[in-house]
Structure 1
């Protein structure tokens, strides 16, 4: 049956109305979905003006939809116009390609992941809160870093303990023949037949004494016996040692400054704390140029008593900092690489810990003693 022209027009109009109704229902459903999802969504026209925002998107702009519709996004968040945020949105529109990125809403604020899709009218942007995921990632990264530091410390301690065991045996075996050789050299140097060689004898004895000094340091690593601890005040030990420290500093036109706060008494071995302090001070002095000032501080931090030695050197690169405390590692031409390992060994016997901070302005070595040690 053929339809008349009027019937065809009427049928077409009815079909258009039906399509419009379907589109309207579909649009309401889409809007309803967008309004009820917890993720944010907003649309921009080609002039960067907001044409639509769902309820969740108000969170990122800290403003209501009513105040945002029709406004240019860069007037709402001008702080982002010169950042990657702006560049990526522009890229999506100019290249007609979707972009994805993660951003922090503000310093110390929430994190969001953003998907921006170009459209005929402008840009559709979908984003979701990933703050919890970021917090988990940070926690995992910190945990991995702590584990790596712990493994490194365990490895260092195991190596140090092995060397400590070797030191006691080997050092004694070397020191005994050296003492014998030194004695015969002194005896021969007094013989009138060898007077003309006195300069050589002095040089040989001096080198033997230097070797003996290194062995003495090495032996201190093998001191696994429990040291005698007495209730002493760290400030008093530093003040009594100050003249010797100042003499070392003045020899190279450098200066010592004390910043000693009141600290409680600790169970300490005076001789070992002397050695610890002298090693740290001499390292600091050698790291500085003429005129530099080395600061020795004491203070309490929670349940710890802290000894801090700060120099005004040029700091250490990461490659050096990583090896600091390794036996025989030294950045000095004539260094033995025993100074800091001995400090670590002394700290361990006092239930203390050593940490190092370094920058272009200098290095600070922190020795933290547990106050609980007094009660024990």
Structure 2
């Protein structure tokens, strides 16, 4: 204000300053407009101007000097002369406005003198502002450098890590307080010294590697050393050293070394590594144990003679062992409830269940016991583990025990029955024979014959009952089964029921057994005749012999009508028969005989395909 305000041109001319963005920086006659912008149409900005077109035109030009004419609100033409200069990268416009009439008047009085004065003023002003701009810029740059160096020094001193800057002769140009504390020297005694002369290094091999990385930094390369040993207060400490090129004006002038103490980190890392190795050893050991246990469990699961599977709440099998795979292979279903469809819903939610169901496997009826137990899986869902056991043999054993108990009870009943019926029947038979000798009419004779015939049938049944109640154990002698079998076949081959029956014998030399040959012959004939009765339209009877461990197995397989599954459990019961004229004692007596020999009779049958009766006898242990 003191400088520009004193600059006037003529009586009414004056100077003012405006910035390149249109902001009025100084105006001697309109102080209220200072700080306002000519691009905003504010009312108080038009007290001395009708418009700012002239000023806006000046700001739009790229020239550093010039002039423009405009008309004031007093309708007076004025001339604006301007000059442009920069202050901290901002365009400042120094403008002088004067009425044109005053210019013409002055020019008429002393055109030449005033022209020189105006030019002189312009030159002085331009020189003044040039000097002002230069001094201002120099001052700003100096302040920025001081601020920058202050920031840089504070940053370097704030770093906990040790920092040192070297020139290409390994002389120290700069270091921070942390590095000075390491050397236990003030910084002024360190600056200018050779780095390797004062570095607390006792290991020559590390000094060599450090020198190589510093030399690479002189060539513009970066490098680092992890775990570099340095002695601090007589204690060996490990450091992480990072070395970078020291670049000024795109030229490498030396190297910047940053050294950070990582002793605790290395010790922690070593401790972690030790724990990790120990943990790895324990994990490996535990993994081996778990693997062994898993292998044991797998062996148990895969070799156990029971089906084991894991199912969801719908009965779908999610996992199974080999036995379970064998069970479902023929049924071609992967749902437990479908496998045991006859029992209905096989799963009760979250409740253990157990049931026994019939199961057809390889054409044979099996009894399966299934236990279903719920458990929580890792995902929180309820799963079920099912154990399926084939209890057919147990059922057969139970049936045999029941059969033995029934036979024992029936034997006691038969003994009393044979005694009570046998004596009166003998008397009746005697009187019938006496009557036959005394009657002469045809009807009486025929009637007595019928009575006698039925008495004989009753006597036959009574004898069978008596034999059943007090079975004759016979004389057990070492016996050749093939001889007994051949004898039995010879006896039945003349039976008229053998017509159309093809008999095949597949027996080789087999060990002898300890039996009564006559009773064994009775059993063979009984089973052969039953097989013949099952083939009324002819067929084939195959007799096979084999040795299984300490047992001799003689099987009779026919191609007859077969035995229904619901009948099989009762075929060895006394009085049970499917024949119109059968007594129901053939198989029951045969079963008792074989049991007395220490053996067993097994039956397999399928309706429409035939039956197989297998006699199982222990091998004679001969000295």
Shorter-chain TM-score bucket reads 0.5 to 0.7
Q: Alignment partner of 1:190: what SS?
A: helix
Give 1:304's aligned residue.
Answer: 551
Provide closer, same or farther for how the CA distance between residues 202 and 252 of structure 1 changes in structure 2, counting only shifts above 3 A: farther
Shift of 1:238: 1.7
Pairing 1:352–2:604 present: no
CA distance in 1, matches of 2:455, 2:473: 30
> 1:217-228 alignment to 2 at 5 Å?
217-224=464-471, 226-228=473-475
- Select which of 316, 331, 335 maps to 1:101: 316
Please say if residues 255 and 292 of structure 1, whose CA atoms lie closer than 8 Å, have aligned partners that are also in contact. yes
Which consecutive residues of structure 1, in runs of 5 or more, have no partner in the other structure? 1-37, 39-97, 115-125, 128-132
CA distance in 2, matches of 1:151, 1:363: 22
CA distance in 2, matches of 1:263, 1:253: 29
Tell me the TM-score normalized by structure 1: 0.60
Please say if residues 563 and 605 of structure 2, whose CA atoms lie closer than 8 Å, have aligned partners that are also in contact. yes
RMSD across aligned positions (CA): 3.2
Pairing 1:212–2:459 present: yes
**Equivalent pairs, count:** 257
Which consecutive residues of structure 2, in runs of 5 or more, have no partner in the other structure? 1-286, 288-312, 327-333, 336-377, 380-384
Deviations 1:219-246 (A, max 9, x none): 2222356432111111111212222211
Q: Alignment partner of 1:247: what SS?
A: coil
Give 2:490's aligned residue.
Answer: 243
CA distance in 1, matches of 2:523, 2:481: 12
Shift of 1:334: 2.3
Please say if residues 227 and 349 of structure 1, whose CA atoms lie closer than 8 Å, have aligned partners that are also in contact. no
CA distance in 1, matches of 2:500, 2:425: 36
Shift of 1:205: 1.7
CA distance in 2, matches of 1:303, 1:152: 24
Please say if residues 263 and 305 of structure 1, whose CA atoms lie closer than 8 Å, have aligned partners that are also in contact. yes
> 1:34-73 alignment to 2 at 5 Å?
none
Give 1:343's aligned residue.
Answer: 590
Shift of 1:251: 5.5
CA distance in 2, matches of 1:340, 1:179: 28
Give 1:325's aligned residue.
Answer: 572
Deviations 1:229-276 (A, max 9, x none): 111111111212222211225455434333322122211112211221
- Select which of 207, 218, 233 maps to 2:480: 233
CA distance in 2, matches of 1:327, 1:256: 29
Please say if residues 571 and 587 of structure 2, whose CA atoms lie closer than 8 Å, have aligned partners that are also in contact. yes
Give 1:363's aligned residue.
Answer: 611
Provide closer, same or farther for how the CA distance between residues 149 and 198 of structure 1 changes in structure 2, counting only shifts above 3 A: same
Structure with more of its chain in helix, by fraction: 1
Please say if residues 104 and 110 of structure 1, whose CA atoms lie closer than 8 Å, have aligned partners that are also in contact. no
Shift of 1:344: 1.2
Structure ID, larger Rg: 2
> 1:1-376 alignment to 2 at 5 Å?
101-103=316-318, 137-138=387-388, 141-142=389-390, 144-191=391-438, 193-224=440-471, 226-248=473-495, 250=497, 252-359=499-606, 360-372=608-620, 374=621
CA distance in 2, matches of 1:163, 1:278: 24
Provide closer, same or farther for how the CA distance between residues 100 and 308 of structure 1 changes in structure 2, counting only shifts above 3 A: closer
Give 2:338's aligned residue.
Answer: none
Shift of 1:99: 7.8
Tell me the TM-score normalized by structure 2: 0.38
Please say if residues 497 and 532 of structure 2, whose CA atoms lie closer than 8 Å, have aligned partners that are also in contact. no
Q: Alignment partner of 1:174: what SS?
A: helix
Moved more, 163-172 or 220-229: 220-229
CA distance in 2, matches of 1:310, 1:173: 41
